[in-house]
């Protein structure tokens, strides 16, 4: 059943409100997470020369944003939560744009890479083609999009106060291909564990010529 504009506003508002209310606990629980594998996967796939222009899409309190900046890149954060956006600015020293994922306003052909770590799964499935198209348009030619999402069997709905869509690899490939991307790589996380203990699907995609 298609979600109407009011339902989409509710999904975005409730999900962001939950992050706002739990901002300090979220930061304490994720600050030391090792996502170096994901950062390296994005940077290794980018063909341009550093310093690179990187958009951290859903940057949260700024953990990875700061890492990109410390490595000499021009890092910009994008975050829907006002509290997270302020935390990220203070922690990373980088600019952070406060934008709802369902109401993006991005400059075209600007970024060498977009890093969407644990963020795109909050986009309702019906809105995903549009959002992915907007991200493709924001990338430079042959730019790279990295995404890591909780994997699933294409179920969607509320998990507590947050909304999520949990896609299989085949379904995710379909969305990405339709948006004008070619797959570079994919893997499951955390590394080194049996598949049933790897809830995260990470994938790396290159913008194809001719896509927006």
CATH superfamily of 5-207: Vaccinia Virus protein VP39 (3.40.50.150)
Q: Is the pTM of this model over 0.75?
A: yes
Q: Which H or E element spans position 64? A: helix 63-70
60, with CB counted inside 10 A (0-12, 13-18, 19+), is buried
Asked whether the beta carbons of 63 and 96 are under 8 A apart, the reply is no
d(CA 178, CA 133): 9
The model's pLDDT over 51-109, given as tens digits with 9 standing for 90+, comes to 999 999 999 999 999 999 999 999 999 999 999 999 999 999 999 999 999 999 999 99
For the cut 80, the answer to whether the pLDDT of residue 211 exceeds it is no
Domains of the chain, residue spans: 5-207
């Amino acid at each position: 059943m298609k979600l109407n504009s009011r339902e989409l506003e509710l999904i975005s508002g409730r999900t962001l409100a939950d992050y706002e209310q739990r901002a300090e606990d979220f930061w304490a629980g994720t600050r030391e997470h090792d996502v170096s594998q994901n950062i390296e996967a994005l940077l290794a796939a980018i063909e341009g020369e550093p310093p690179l222009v990187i958009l951290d899409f859903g940057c949260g309190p700024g953990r990875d944003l700061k890492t990109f900046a410390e490595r000499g890149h021009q890092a910009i954060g994008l975050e829907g939560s006002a509290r997270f956006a302020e935390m990220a600015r203070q922690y990373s020293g980088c600019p952070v744009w406060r934008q709802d994922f369902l109401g993006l306003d991005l400059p075209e052909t600007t970024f060498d890479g977009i890093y969407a770590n644990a963020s795109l799964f909050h986009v309702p499935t019906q809105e995903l083609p549009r959002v992915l198209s907007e991200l493709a348009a924001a990338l430079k030619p042959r730019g790279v999009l990295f995404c890591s999402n909780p994997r699933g069997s294409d179920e969607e709905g509320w998990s507590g106060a947050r909304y999520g869509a949990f896609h299989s690899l085949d379904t995710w490939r379909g969305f990405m291909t339709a948006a004008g991307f070619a797959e570079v790589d994919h893997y499951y996380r955390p590394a080194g564990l049996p598949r049933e203990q790897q809830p995260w699907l990470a994938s790396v995609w290159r913008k194809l010529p001719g896509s927006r």
